[in-house]
């Protein structure tokens, strides 16, 4: 079969890494799924200081259950590198992120 040259973002390759400290330092947590509560999944903080999006696009939320402020984080923006919380969005007044999910394509 001929390979389709068009590559769609599909869920299998959605990946993001959360970091405890700015500039991708400290404890990290790799995501490839939706997390209604990061703390329930083992992330010890309410804060996420930096994020690297390796594939796909994600929406991060301030509170569990996909509530509160939301930040759209995309591989196609800034190379997928968000070195500190005010790069998540101009509305980001806090680095509190407690749930995150992939954007459906």
Average pLDDT over residues 23-28: 96
Q: For residue 7, report the phi and psi dihedrals to the nearest 5 degrees.
A: -110, 115
Cross-strand bridge partners of residue 35: 100
Q: Which residue has the higher pLDDT, 104 or 100?
A: 100
Whether residue 82 contacts residue 53, with contact meaning beta carbons closer than 8 Å, is answered with yes
**Could you tell me the pTM of the whole model?**
0.84
Tens digits of per-residue pLDDT, 58-83?
999 999 999 999 999 999 998 999 99
> If you count them, how many residues does the chain have?
105
């Amino acid at each position: 079969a001929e390979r389709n040259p068009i590559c769609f973002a599909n869920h299998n390759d959605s990946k993001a890494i959360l970091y405890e400290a700015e500039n991708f330092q400290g404890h990290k947590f790799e995501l490839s799924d939706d997390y209604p509560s990061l703390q329930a999944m083992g992330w010890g903080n309410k804060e996420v200081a930096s994020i690297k999006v390796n594939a796909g696009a994600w929406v991060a939320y301030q509170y569990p259950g996909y509530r509160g402020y939301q930040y759209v984080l995309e591989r196609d923006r800034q190379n997928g590198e968000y070195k500190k919380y005010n790069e998540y969005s101009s509305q980001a007044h806090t680095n509190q992120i407690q749930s995150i999910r992939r954007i459906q394509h």
